[in-house]
Structure 1
């Protein structure tokens, strides 16, 4: 929850320093941008609250989407790590949870790098811009792979149950949000 507050504070500061756009225009910008993602309804739902700070900036939209993805990945990583302490786990369940926790940790690291790279690339142009944006795209794509790989260990009939279902729901949400963020980064890159 503290991370969400930090994200909101960060985005509020960006909003204060930018020219205000009407709330309707900012909302329409998010909707139009999200229409090009794989999960548009989730994209709009996860970014709508940040419309005042996003305004109509493709860069701010991409950065916010990465922040949202990072925040959800951190929450999911913590949830999966707590599941390792669940009593009565079978050896195979514990191993799957352990592997998933490691994949989520790597995903968090890569999303964090993506956020920082986009945030600190400044007004890079030309080849510098392409280099920075390539890093952002590579790390976000690798995080998406980590998230999808996280759930591989839960395949098979012996892995059915509440633990699998609860982890699956969270991992799928993170993967979908990350997919949307990567799409918005790609949109930003194409407009430069």
Structure 2
């Protein structure tokens, strides 16, 4: 019996080696999939940076890639909403700055709402096909496109030199980041829709 076990030892070690290699190859394949997919976005470096942390979740699934990109976009929008909310409580704001910040808070709230609906729609569509798939994707693309216009609408409130300064620069930086990850998410969703 002991000899039989010893004869099996190399086979067991070989199988463990193969399983270990497959496990370590999976993240590499996922990372390569993310890099290749991100090439079709407007901000490929940001795309890779923001999605690489989720390689094991995304694996090589275009749908999981789209869902993850959209979730990243939603998280960034929620962070920006919190940031802008805090700015409204900042002391020493000029009346026009306060008004512009309040407008931006309304815009980012709309963005969060639209991206939340898009995340839910993408998750709930399951394995939809044909007209059902087109309907879900149309909703998602409409909401995301509307969310992308919010950045410009916010910054319109800061037009004019009198509002140039740190507040405007910080708000612009936050909205630009939201716009970039949202643009990337839309590109990946469109890519998923075309391949579906």
What TM-score, normalized to structure 2?
A: 0.86
2:156 corresponds to: 152
| Residue of 120, 123, 127 corresponding to 2:127 | 123
Residue 168 of structure 2 is aligned to residue 164 of structure 1: yes
1:182 equivalent in structure 2: 186
Work out whether residues 148 and 175 of structure 1, in 8 Å CA contact, stay in contact via their aligned partners in 2. no
Instruction: Output the TM-score relative to the length of structure 1.
Output: 0.88
Q: For the pair shown, which has the larger CA radius of gyration, 1 or 2?
A: 2
Structure 1 gap segments, 5+ residues each: 1-19
Structure 2: distance between partners of 1:39 and 1:137: 18
Return 5+ residue gaps in structure 2 as ranges.
1-22
2:18 matched to which residue of 1?
none
Residues 1:138 and 2:148 aligned together: no
CA distance in 2, matches of 1:147, 1:61: 24
Give the aligned partner of residue 65 of structure 2. Answer: 61
The answer to whether the Cα contact below 8 Å between 1:69 and 1:177 also exists between their aligned partners in 2 is yes
Q: In structure 2, the residue corresponding to 1:174 is in which secondary structure?
A: helix
1:95 matched to 2:99? yes
SS in structure 2 at match of 1:154: coil
- Matched residue, 1:85: 89
**How big is each residue's C-alpha offset from its partner over 1:50-96, in whole Å with a ceiling of 9 and x where there is no partner?**
00000000000000000000000000011011101111111100000
Root-mean-square deviation over aligned CA pairs: 1.3
Return the offset for 1:166.
1.0
Superposition deviation, residue 101 in structure 1: 0.3
Q: Who is 1:5 aligned against?
A: none
Q: Deviations over 1:4-43 (max 9, x none)?
A: xxxxxxxxxxxxxxxx771111001000110000000000
CA distance in 1, matches of 2:80, 2:47: 18
Structure 1 segments of 4+ aligned residues over 4 angstroms from their partners: none
Shift of 1:148: 2.6
